[in-house]
Each structure stands twice: as C-alpha cells, then as structure tokens.
Amino acid sequence: MGREVKLTEGSISGAMIKLALPIMANSFVQMAYNFMDMIWLGRVGTKTVAAAGTAGFFLWIGTALLLIPKVAAEVGVAQSYGREDLDEVKNYIVHTIQLSVVLAIIYSLFLIIFRHQVIGFFGLKDMEVVSMSIEYLVIVSLGMVFFFINPVFAGIFNGFGNSLTPFIINSIGLALNIVLDPILIFGLGPFPKMGIKGAALATIIAQFIATIIFIKVCRNKISLFSGLKLFKIPNSSFIKQIFKLGLPVSLQEFFFSGIAVLIARILAKWGSTPIAVQNIGSQIEAISWMTAGGFSTALSAFVGQNYGANKIDRIKEGYRKAMYIVGIVGIFANCLLIFGAEPIFRLFIPNDIEAIREGVIYLRILGLSQFFMCIEIATSGAFYGLGKTVPPALVGIVFNILRVPGSLILSNYTSLGLKGVWWSISMSSVFKGVVLTTWFIIYLRRNKEFNFE
C-alpha cells in the first residue's frame, strides 16, 4: 500500500495532487456505501428506502461527532510529523483513537436506548416504516465504533501524507459491501432473506473488515505505530487540544445538517418537486465540492507538516498553487452548471417537464457560486493545517444560518418566489468564499512569522 510522505521537501504541486487524488476518490467511495444500499433497497420497496433514509439522518449526526478526533488526527499528526516529534505523533494517534471509540460507544448506546424516541421525532404515520427504521438504526448502532474509528485511521494516514492507504482499504470495504448487500437483503444461497436488516448488517461487516485491515497495516509499520498504549488513561491536555482542533469543525457540520432540514421545510411550501430538485442539485454539486475537499485535506496535511517544520515559504507557495488548482476546478464547474444545466439535469429526471425547468434554473443559479465554494473549502484546509479551525467554522456557521432568513425574505417579500431560495443558497457560498479567503490572507499578513510578501 502507500507510504508516508515528507511534504516538507520536493515538488509542491506534485505532492499535493498525489495526496489529493486518493482523498477525492475516497470521498466518492464513502458516498457509494449509501448509494449501493439505496440501489438494492429500492428493489425491495419505497418504504424500505424511506426507513433507511430516516435512520440515516442519525449517521449524519454521527459524522459530525467523529470529525472531532478525525480533524485532530490529521492536523496533530501532520504538525508533529513535520517537527519530527514521533512521541507527539504517537500521542495524537493514541488519544484520537481512544476518543473515537468512547464517542462511538456513548452515541450508539444513546441511539439504542432512545431508538423509539429518535425515530418518533420525525412523526412518521406509517408504522411499517417506523418499525424498519428502528431495526436499521439498532443494527447500525451496534457497529458504530467501526463507523467512527475508520475515518480517524484515515485522518492519521492523511497526516503522514499517505492518502493512498485509506483509499485502498475503504475501497475493499465498499467492494465487500457491494457483494454482501444483495446476498443478505434478498437471501441468496444459504443466507435468509433479511431485507433492510441485511443492508445494515452488510454495511457493518464491510466497515469491520476495513477496521481489521487498518489495524493490520498499522502493525506492519513498526516505526510509527509500535509501543502505542491504547489502554492507558488519557492525558487531559491532549484531550483538550483534540477538542480545540476538532470541535469547531464538528459544530459546523451539526449546523449544516440542521440548516438543510430547515431549508427543506421552506421548500415544502412549493410541493415535492423543489425538494427533489435540491436533492439532485446537491448530488451534482458534490462533484466540485468533493474535488475541492480532496485538495482541502491535502493542503491541511501539507500546511501542517511545513508549519511543524517551520518552512513558511512552502506554506505560502503551497496555498497559492492549491488555490490556482481549485480555482480552475471552480471555473470549470461554473461553466458546466450554467451552460450544461439542462442535459445534466435530464440525466436524473428525463421526463418531468416541471422538474427539468426548475432544475435548470437552480443549477444555473448554483453555478455562479462554484468558484467561491471551491476556494472556501481549500482555504479551510489551510486554516486547519495551521491548527486554526475556528475561522472556517465561524464563517460556515454564520453564512449557513443566514440562508434561512435569506430564503424567507427573498422568496416571500420579493418577486423571486422559489428562485429566492436558490439565490440565498448560492450567494451564501459566494460570501463564504470571499470572507474566508480574505480572512486567511489578512491572517498571514498580520502574523510576523509568515512575513507575507
């Protein structure tokens, strides 16, 4: 598998691209887990898909929680590795793994104990869907520790500059999930037909196998993972540092999921078509934000290692080159969504004239913000590498919250109507990109250690 890379020397562009590509691919692999479940469950029935989607909301919340140790692993390991302080590297490895396991156990116990209440929050009237949602939630909760620990392992390897290993391991898990889904859902061969429970079990098994492979790979890297005392009492100062690094990003994800629910409620005023349009638009937009996200994580590791090694010139040059690359991606996405809106949207809904008309409007408005979204995501990675996770979280939370009043004002008190919601979403991304990038440049100029020219 991949090897650790010292990002403090050699080609800057080559190192970041080499690091970013597996991270981008890994993001698509993670999306594919849910995608494959939906494909097979869709063949069981609409109610089954609805049940998995309902329970899946709590996996989204779990993702926000696991970002605390994951982000800390990426940043802490990168900076310590850059300083060549292996003792501190191992401390971050031990403490982020410990915290991920503890958070997973607490969250899974909460979901199992209050399973009826959390599913009941949605007020579903169909008792069959409620029952299947609870079954799916309980089974997935039993394997929650694997959902939490695998991204943390990935964060540790990313911090070392090795993004290929997590991609390979997660791809193995996905391949296993693809094989197990139809077998356990439909009961092929000697296996009984399990329906939605089979989908949950297939995902857990795939994640468990991925965890085992991560552990095996770590055991083979003696110099980096030997002597880890995973059962020792955690050091409170390290736990505080982990929360300092990861909590702002976690809170940003919590707010993002909550705002998405509120926007969906606003859209419901115009019926189900706008909700479908936004869901499809999000899937299309994911191509650009996952690409930018790959460079964001790569830039975080690059900046972290070079900051630890006190190579400030490489940080500035790395940021410039990363912004150049994601800027090109953003401009390409701008053009694609604006000029190719109709054929792109028809790939998803080919026959619904109303949905196509609204989808084209949404994609063209959304297209105006793609460049700014890409530079915001990349700049977030640069901040993370410096250990400054508050600015991206603050900008993200503020402007995501403003989407709600913006949507209400523009849709109700102007002639825009539904377009007002689309403009609110798009313009908030523009402001996030402008504000966060300006903040980062000002931060560099005002800190003497960077001597920004």
pLDDT per residue as tens digits for the range 298-313: 888 888 888 888 888 8
- pLDDT per residue as tens digits for the range 181-215: 889 988 887 888 888 899 899 999 999 999 999 99
Average pLDDT, the chain: 85
Q: What is the pLDDT of residue 452?
A: 43
Q: What is the pLDDT of residue 34?
A: 66
Is residue 282 within 8 A of residue 3, CB to CB? The reply is: no
Is residue 234 within 8 A of residue 69, CB to CB? The reply is: no
pTM, rounded to two decimals: 0.81
Which residue, chain included where needed, has tokens 């809170």?
A: 251
Q: pLDDT band for position 221 (50/70/90)?
A: confident
2: pLDDT strictly greater than 60? no
Query: Rounded to whole angstroms, how far apart are CA atoms 437 and 292?
Result: 14
Query: Rounded to whole angstroms, how far apart are CA atoms 313 and 122?
Result: 52
Percent of the chain with pLDDT over 70: 92
Q: What is the pLDDT of residue 374?
A: 94
The conformational region for residue 123 under phi > 0 = left, psi -120 to 50 = alpha, else beta, is left
Host H or E run for residue 292: helix 272-308
Highest mean pLDDT, choosing among 22-36, 37-51, 85-99, 111-125: 85-99
Which residue, chain included where needed, has tokens 């998995």?
A: 52
Q: What is the pLDDT of residue 272?
A: 63
Q: What is the pLDDT of residue 223?
A: 66
Query: Rounded to whole angstroms, how far apart are CA atoms 204 and 143?
Result: 6
Q: What is the pLDDT of residue 383?
A: 94
- pLDDT per residue as tens digits for the range 241-279: 899 989 998 998 888 877 877 887 787 777 767 776 776
Q: pLDDT band for position 8 (50/70/90)?
A: confident
Averaged over 111-138, what is the pLDDT? 85
Q: pLDDT band for position 38 (50/70/90)?
A: low
176: pLDDT strictly greater than 70? yes
Is residue 325 within 8 A of residue 17, CB to CB? The reply is: yes
Q: What is the pLDDT of residue 46?
A: 65
Q: pLDDT band for position 409 (50/70/90)?
A: very high
Q: What is the pLDDT of residue 4?
A: 64
Burial class (CB in 10 A: 0-12, 13-18, 19+), 448: exposed
